[in-house]
Amino acid sequence: MIKQMHSGWAYLVLIVLIGAFINALLGVISKKEFKVKDLRLALFALIFAHIQLILGFINYYVSPFYTHMKEIGMGATMKDATARLITVEHPLMMILAIVLITMGFSKHKKRTSDKAKFRTIAIFYGMALLLILAKIPWQQWFAK
Ligand code: HEM
Protein backbone atom coordinates (compact mmCIF):
# COMPACT_ATOMS: atom_id res chain seq x y z
CA MET A 1 0.00 0.00 0.00
CA ILE A 2 2.82 2.43 0.85
CA LYS A 3 4.41 1.74 -2.51
CA GLN A 4 1.10 2.49 -4.27
CA MET A 5 0.74 5.74 -2.29
CA HIS A 6 4.32 6.77 -3.12
CA SER A 7 3.77 5.86 -6.77
CA GLY A 8 0.46 7.75 -7.03
CA TRP A 9 1.63 10.80 -5.04
CA ALA A 10 4.57 11.14 -7.44
CA TYR A 11 2.13 12.29 -10.17
CA LEU A 12 0.82 15.08 -7.93
CA VAL A 13 4.36 16.17 -6.99
CA LEU A 14 5.40 16.36 -10.65
CA ILE A 15 2.24 18.22 -11.77
CA VAL A 16 2.45 20.84 -8.98
CA LEU A 17 6.25 21.24 -9.25
CA ILE A 18 6.13 21.68 -13.05
CA GLY A 19 3.22 24.13 -12.58
CA ALA A 20 5.13 26.16 -9.97
CA PHE A 21 8.29 26.18 -12.13
CA ILE A 22 6.51 27.32 -15.32
CA ASN A 23 4.52 29.92 -13.36
CA ALA A 24 7.75 31.33 -11.89
CA LEU A 25 9.48 31.34 -15.29
CA LEU A 26 6.53 33.23 -16.84
CA GLY A 27 6.60 35.59 -13.84
CA VAL A 28 10.24 36.48 -14.61
CA ILE A 29 9.72 36.78 -18.40
CA SER A 30 6.52 38.86 -18.30
CA LYS A 31 7.56 40.90 -15.21
CA LYS A 32 4.33 39.90 -13.40
CA GLU A 33 3.39 40.99 -9.87
CA PHE A 34 4.05 38.24 -7.32
CA LYS A 35 0.58 37.53 -5.93
CA VAL A 36 -0.89 35.24 -3.27
CA LYS A 37 -1.75 32.63 -5.91
CA ASP A 38 1.94 32.48 -6.93
CA LEU A 39 2.95 32.02 -3.30
CA ARG A 40 0.32 29.30 -2.85
CA LEU A 41 1.49 27.34 -5.91
CA ALA A 42 5.10 27.39 -4.65
CA LEU A 43 3.91 26.42 -1.16
CA PHE A 44 1.83 23.47 -2.46
CA ALA A 45 4.86 22.18 -4.37
CA LEU A 46 6.88 22.38 -1.15
CA ILE A 47 4.21 20.59 0.94
CA PHE A 48 3.59 17.86 -1.66
CA ALA A 49 7.34 17.20 -1.96
CA HIS A 50 7.70 16.90 1.82
CA ILE A 51 4.80 14.43 1.98
CA GLN A 52 6.55 12.39 -0.75
CA LEU A 53 9.74 12.49 1.32
CA ILE A 54 7.94 10.86 4.26
CA LEU A 55 6.22 8.29 2.01
CA GLY A 56 9.64 7.65 0.40
CA PHE A 57 11.37 6.89 3.69
CA ILE A 58 8.61 4.46 4.77
CA ASN A 59 8.64 2.95 1.27
CA TYR A 60 12.40 2.52 1.49
CA TYR A 61 12.40 0.40 4.65
CA VAL A 62 9.45 -1.78 3.59
CA SER A 63 10.78 -2.25 0.04
CA PRO A 64 12.06 -5.70 -1.05
CA PHE A 65 14.98 -3.77 -2.55
CA TYR A 66 16.08 -2.76 0.96
CA THR A 67 15.85 -6.34 2.27
CA HIS A 68 17.79 -7.52 -0.79
CA MET A 69 20.47 -4.85 -0.23
CA LYS A 70 20.92 -6.01 3.35
CA GLU A 71 21.28 -9.62 2.15
CA ILE A 72 23.81 -9.03 -0.66
CA GLY A 73 25.63 -6.04 0.89
CA MET A 74 26.35 -2.54 -0.48
CA GLY A 75 29.21 -3.67 -2.76
CA ALA A 76 27.03 -6.06 -4.75
CA THR A 77 24.11 -3.59 -4.69
CA MET A 78 26.27 -0.88 -6.30
CA LYS A 79 27.15 -3.30 -9.12
CA ASP A 80 23.45 -3.91 -9.91
CA ALA A 81 22.07 -0.88 -11.84
CA THR A 82 18.42 -1.35 -10.81
CA ALA A 83 19.20 -2.05 -7.14
CA ARG A 84 21.65 0.88 -7.10
CA LEU A 85 19.01 3.20 -8.60
CA ILE A 86 16.26 2.25 -6.13
CA THR A 87 18.33 1.98 -2.96
CA VAL A 88 20.96 4.71 -3.48
CA GLU A 89 20.60 7.08 -6.46
CA HIS A 90 16.83 7.66 -6.32
CA PRO A 91 16.58 8.37 -2.55
CA LEU A 92 19.73 10.58 -2.52
CA MET A 93 18.73 12.63 -5.57
CA MET A 94 15.15 13.02 -4.34
CA ILE A 95 16.36 14.19 -0.91
CA LEU A 96 18.70 16.69 -2.63
CA ALA A 97 15.81 17.87 -4.83
CA ILE A 98 13.57 18.38 -1.79
CA VAL A 99 16.37 20.35 -0.06
CA LEU A 100 16.57 22.61 -3.16
CA ILE A 101 12.78 23.14 -3.14
CA THR A 102 12.91 24.00 0.58
CA MET A 103 15.84 26.40 0.06
CA GLY A 104 14.08 28.02 -2.90
CA PHE A 105 10.90 28.64 -0.91
CA SER A 106 12.68 30.05 2.13
CA LYS A 107 15.00 32.24 -0.02
CA HIS A 108 12.16 33.68 -2.14
CA LYS A 109 10.54 34.99 1.07
CA LYS A 110 13.66 37.09 1.74
CA ARG A 111 13.58 38.63 -1.75
CA THR A 112 12.01 42.12 -1.92
CA SER A 113 11.22 42.50 -5.66
CA ASP A 114 8.58 40.44 -7.50
CA LYS A 115 11.09 39.56 -10.21
CA ALA A 116 13.64 38.29 -7.66
CA LYS A 117 10.93 36.17 -5.96
CA PHE A 118 9.93 34.54 -9.26
CA ARG A 119 13.59 34.10 -10.31
CA THR A 120 14.54 32.38 -7.05
CA ILE A 121 11.66 29.91 -7.34
CA ALA A 122 12.37 29.28 -11.04
CA ILE A 123 16.05 28.52 -10.36
CA PHE A 124 15.66 26.27 -7.28
CA TYR A 125 12.46 24.49 -8.37
CA GLY A 126 13.98 24.07 -11.86
CA MET A 127 17.13 22.41 -10.50
CA ALA A 128 15.00 20.16 -8.27
CA LEU A 129 12.82 19.17 -11.23
CA LEU A 130 15.90 18.16 -13.26
CA LEU A 131 17.15 15.91 -10.43
CA ILE A 132 13.72 14.33 -9.95
CA LEU A 133 13.22 13.69 -13.69
CA ALA A 134 16.74 12.23 -13.90
CA LYS A 135 16.39 9.72 -11.05
CA ILE A 136 12.76 8.57 -11.01
CA PRO A 137 12.68 4.80 -11.70
CA TRP A 138 10.67 5.39 -14.95
CA GLN A 139 10.95 1.84 -16.26
CA GLN A 140 9.58 0.38 -13.02
CA TRP A 141 6.97 3.14 -12.70
CA PHE A 142 5.50 2.54 -16.14
CA ALA A 143 6.17 -1.21 -16.22
CA LYS A 144 2.63 -1.98 -14.94
C1 HEM B 1 10.00 14.17 -4.88
C2 HEM B 1 10.36 13.06 -4.39
C3 HEM B 1 10.10 11.66 -4.95
C4 HEM B 1 9.44 11.28 -6.09
C5 HEM B 1 8.76 12.16 -7.14
C6 HEM B 1 9.48 9.82 -6.12
C7 HEM B 1 8.94 9.04 -7.14
C8 HEM B 1 9.00 7.66 -7.18
C9 HEM B 1 8.40 6.85 -8.24
C10 HEM B 1 7.61 7.38 -9.41
C11 HEM B 1 8.69 5.53 -7.94
C12 HEM B 1 8.25 4.29 -8.75
C13 HEM B 1 7.00 3.77 -8.11
C14 HEM B 1 6.50 2.50 -8.79
O15 HEM B 1 7.30 1.63 -9.14
O16 HEM B 1 5.28 2.41 -8.98
C17 HEM B 1 9.44 5.52 -6.71
C18 HEM B 1 9.89 4.36 -6.11
C19 HEM B 1 10.60 4.37 -4.94
N20 HEM B 1 10.95 5.48 -4.18
FE21 HEM B 1 10.56 7.40 -4.60
N22 HEM B 1 10.15 9.34 -5.02
C23 HEM B 1 10.55 10.44 -4.29
C24 HEM B 1 11.24 10.43 -3.11
C25 HEM B 1 11.73 9.29 -2.50
C26 HEM B 1 12.54 9.29 -1.29
C27 HEM B 1 12.97 10.54 -0.53
C28 HEM B 1 12.82 7.97 -1.00
C29 HEM B 1 13.61 7.36 0.15
C30 HEM B 1 14.17 7.98 1.12
C31 HEM B 1 12.18 7.17 -2.03
C32 HEM B 1 12.23 5.78 -2.09
C33 HEM B 1 11.67 5.02 -3.10
C34 HEM B 1 11.78 3.55 -3.15
C35 HEM B 1 12.52 2.64 -2.15
C36 HEM B 1 11.12 3.14 -4.32
C37 HEM B 1 10.96 1.70 -4.86
C38 HEM B 1 9.93 0.96 -4.08
C39 HEM B 1 9.82 -0.49 -4.56
O40 HEM B 1 9.71 -0.72 -5.74
O41 HEM B 1 9.80 -1.38 -3.71
N42 HEM B 1 11.53 8.00 -2.94
N43 HEM B 1 9.63 6.83 -6.26
Provide the 10 A C-beta neighbour count for residue 100: 21
Among residues 54, 53, 43, the alpha carbon closest in space to that of 19 is found at 43
Residues with CB under 6 Å of ligand 1 are 3, 6-7, 10, 13, 49, 52-53, 56-57, 59-60, 63-65, 86, 90-91, 94-95, 97-98, 132, 136-137, 140-141
Residues 103 and 120 sit within 8 Å (Cβ to Cβ) = no
pTM above 0.85, yes or no: yes
What's the structural domain count of the chain? Answer: 1
- Residue 96, domain member (yes or no): yes
The model's confidence at residue 143, banded by pLDDT at 50, 70 and 90, is confident
Name the residue range of residue 31's domain. Answer: 2-139
Q: For residue range 19-68, list pLDDT tens digits in order.
A: 999 999 999 999 999 999 999 999 999 999 999 999 999 999 999 999 99
User: Ligand 1 test: best mutation among 3, 5, 6, 140, most atoms within 8 Å of CB?
Assistant: 6
User: Ligand 1 test: best mutation among 94, 127, 132, most atoms within 8 Å of CB?
Assistant: 94
Could you identify the atom of ligand 1 that is nearest to the CA of residue 62?
A: 41
- Residue 144, domain member (yes or no): no
